Structure formats: structure tokens, C-alpha cells
Chain A
């Protein structure tokens, strides 16, 4: 693979990372909760799709129709029943609770599905590609992922800025007490934000599962990628998350060009460099919502 091709692949990978990071970003922006179980939840989504395929022979793409709503509902309930309570117990609590959740999820998946790697089968789509030039080719699936990511991000941005409930979400993230005076139940708003976050990470998780193999223990690694994308791009802007994700994706694919073992490390080093040189991120804006 040439360097040019590596950059293109990195951009496409970045799209998927962006979709994945959106949920993390949203929960932090609205509720100030950093969900340490974020990665494991995406793995859960992939396993749900896998289980549907295994038990009911549902193909991977149609499985999304069941997995996404299920995860959204899970997000709503988790926020309403567990995380909302933890928010009252001080700044330490949500971190400990979501970390505990991460441990529980990983090990529950381990118990249920065993440590074996799985993959979601998408047949020929996985390898079909579009040849742009002699050296550069774009996989249809990778392009699809990027397209989904940009669509979801744009949709979310529009939702937040143009709709009544989106406005309510932004207001709630500013001032959850005052927002009640307008008849808005802030707990419901938080729960919907969590539902949206979980829905996006479900899509990302399933797409990831189509792209590479997954097993119960890779959640934390994914969390780290989402987090690096958010920090590199800068807090306060959904498009920043996309930019950060693309930079991360390109860093990883370029690192892989040097040696496959360096892919992840390259991403880490770029993240650390941003932290040292430009801690506010590439696209830092003054907005509240990332």
C-alpha cells in the first residue's frame, strides 16, 4: 500500500472513529459524564448483532434495525436509573460507576460468548472497492462508513440547532435547574441524550464488527480511540470530533505503513503531541456542546 493510499484509508477510518466518538462527546457535552464503558458498549452492540445472526440468521445490516433501538433503550434506562443517581453523589461517582459497568460488561460478554474473536459477515461488500488511480483504491464499505458518519454528525448538529428538543438539550446542558422552569424535565433530556449517544455507538460498534474482528476485551482500546479523537479535535464542536478522528485515523494508517505494530502507538503519539503543543485541540470553539 502506498503512502497516498494509506492517507485515504486513514480518512475513511477516521469517519468510523468520528461516529464512534460522537456518543462519548455528546454525553460529556450534555451531562458532563465521561462514560468509561463507552467502548465496551459498542462491543456489546456488535455481539448483539452477532447473536441475532447466530440464533435467527439475521444478516448484519438488517440486524442494525433491532440493535440500534435496543441500545438506545438501554441508554435511556441506564441514564435514568443508574447514572442520574450517580450524578448526585459527587464528581467521582459517575466515573466509578461507568468504570464498574465496563468491568461488568466485559466479563459478562466473556462469560456469555467466550474470549473467541468474532466477525460480522458482510460478504463481498467487505472487499469490493473503487479504483481511483493506480495506487489508490477506496473500499465501498469504508466509504459507506464515512458516509454514515458524516450523515449522522450532520443530522445531530441540525437536530441540536434547529429543533425544539435540540434546543432543550442545549439549554439543559447550560443550566439543568432553570430549564425546569420552562416545563422541561432535565432528567428526561439527559436520558434522551444518552439514548442518542448509545444509538450512535451501536451503529459504530456494528460497523466496526463488520470491518474487523472483535472480542469481549477490546472495549477499552476503542474507548481510548474515541477519547483521542475528541481531544485531538477539540472539545466543544461535533465537527472538531470529525477532524480529530480523521487525524487519528491517518496517524494510525501511516504508522501501520512503517510497521503494523506501530499503528496504535502512532495514534497515541499524535494524541500526546496535541496535548503538549495545542491542548485545546485543532478546532476548539467556545461552544458548550462537543
Chain B
């Protein structure tokens, strides 16, 4: 079966600095792939490039066989890619429910509607009228994930869900992942929390200073291998 996402040898620059050097990645439909690495390794850059917010200076990105390298972000979203951005990036002028609704601005057909999202994250139902500016980190992260789900994506990109959150909250959030993948959604997770990443992923890739340092099925990866790829020792 065709891989859903192919990232081929991409170089990505931020102004004068280069963040990714010839990075490649393949994600098959229905898989959950985790990309791990230290701060500044280029993980978020990779996700942003897949989502279309950044353009690679070199290389190619294909979704379901279609070359999307030059496609702007708002068009890529319509192909079924949804990014939960680093830092949540909710819209502070909108309420929780409005944030969720706007996720469905260009939604494909699918199971994810408001009621289903409230089922997945029950504590959000009571917050639906609250301004998104007044949420705790965990609540905001749930809304951000819900917002991405509302478009019924084929490929869900999760950028540093654990950032700034207490471990118990992170576990609760990741506990929702099976419900998401059960519906057939392919998931690409970027995480600093290695244990959490390995717990949910089928395959794992480790980035070190913009390059791929390790790539293997999650079950086969050893702690020593991860440590060496993560820290470059």
C-alpha cells in the first residue's frame, strides 16, 4: 500500500540558519510514528514543513502519492493534514467551542463532530463557552487536539503535546490516542518525552541537530540506542 506521507531529503532553513539536513521520513496509513530528539533538533521544524508553514529549500514532500512540496499550508489542510501546533496556538478571541468549530472550517466527512470531541475530552463540555485565553495548559492542549480532529484528518500531526504540562495530564491526553487511531487516523507525533513516545508509537525516528540519527520499530529500539541517538554520544 502506498505510504500516506513521504518526506524525501528535505533541507529547511530559518533565515540564515539551517534546521534540517536531508531529512527523510515515511509514514504508512494507519501507523503511529514518533519523532524524538532534544530541544533544537528540528522536530517542530519537520512538522511545520509537513503542514506547509515552512517550505523546504531542497527535497520533496508527498501526501498519498501527490507532490505537495509547493502547496501552501491552507491548501494542504484540505488534503487531510491537521497540525496541533507547538504551544497550542488557540485563538484567544474565540471561545472553546468556537475554537473547535473553526477546526471544522474545511472538514472532510468523518466521525469527528463536536459531540464526539466532547466525549473524548469530557471536561471540555463544561468549558465550551469559556474564552480560550482562560484555560489551563492541559485544557488548552485538549482543545487544540479537538480542533485538529474536527477536520477529520487523515494525518494528524502532534507537536510536543507534553510541553509545559504535568505528567499526569500528559498521560490523560495520550490516553485519548487509541480512540483517534481506531478511527483509522494516521498519527505523527513529535515528543521530547521519550518514554511516552515509545509507548504510543509503532515506529520511532530520532533527530539530532537536524539530521536523522535513528530509525526503527518502537519495539526493537533499546534504551542505549535511543540515548546515543538523542544526545549524540
Contact = CB atoms under 8 A, between A and B. Distances in A.
B83 A167 contact: no
Contacts of A177: 53, 89
B31 interface: no
B139 interface: no
Interface in B103-133: 103, 105-106
A180 B91 contact: no
B91 A181 contact: no
Contacts of A180: 52-53, 72-74, 77
B222 interface: no
B101 to A, nearest CB: 7
B105 to A, nearest CB: 5
A177 B53 CA distance: 8
Contacts, number: 71
B68 interface: no
A112 to B, nearest CB: 39
B53 A167 contact: no
Contacts of A123: none
A121 interface: no
B94 interface: yes
Contacts of A179: 91, 102
Nearest to A165: B105
B145 to A, nearest CB: 13
B93 A181 contact: no
Main secondary structure of the interface of A (DSSP, over half): helix
Given A167-B98, A167-B101, A177-B53, A182 B106 contact: yes
Contacts of A184: 74, 102, 105-106
B94 A171 contact: yes
A167 B94 contact: yes
A170 B90 CA distance: 12
Contacts of B151: 182-183
B93 A173 contact: yes
A174 B94 contact: yes
A185 to B, nearest CB: 5
B102 A182 contact: yes
A84 to B, nearest CB: 14
Contacts of B105: 164, 168, 182-184
B92 A174 contact: yes
Interface residues of A, number: 21
B89 A175 contact: yes
Contacts of B102: 164, 167-168, 171, 179, 182, 184
B91 A175 contact: yes
Interface string A168-198: 1011011101111111111000000000000
B52 to A, nearest CB: 7
Q: Which of B83, B102, B151 has most chain A Cβ within 10 Å? A: B102
A287 interface: yes
A152 B75 CA distance: 33
B109 to A, nearest CB: 15
Contacts of A164: 101-102, 105
A185 B73 CA distance: 8
A66 interface: no
A183 B77 contact: yes
A289 interface: yes
B171 interface: no
A183 B74 contact: yes
Nearest to B148: A181
A178 B91 contact: yes
A125 interface: no
A288 interface: yes
A1 to B, nearest CB: 43
Interface string B73-87: 111011000110100
Nearest to A161: B98
Given A174-B93, A178-B85, 7 more contacts: A168-B105, A170-B93, A177-B53, A180-B52, A180-B73, A184-B106, A185-B74
Q: Which are the 9 A-B pairs with shortest beta-carbon distances?
A: A183-B106, A183-B77, A180-B73, A178-B89, A180-B74, A171-B91, A174-B91, A185-B74, A288-B93
15 contacts: A164-B102, A167-B102, A170-B91, A179-B91, A180-B52, A180-B72, A181-B51, A181-B74, A181-B148, A182-B74, A182-B105, A183-B77, A183-B151, A184-B102, A288-B92
Interface of A: 164, 167-168, 170-171, 173-175, 177-186, 287-289
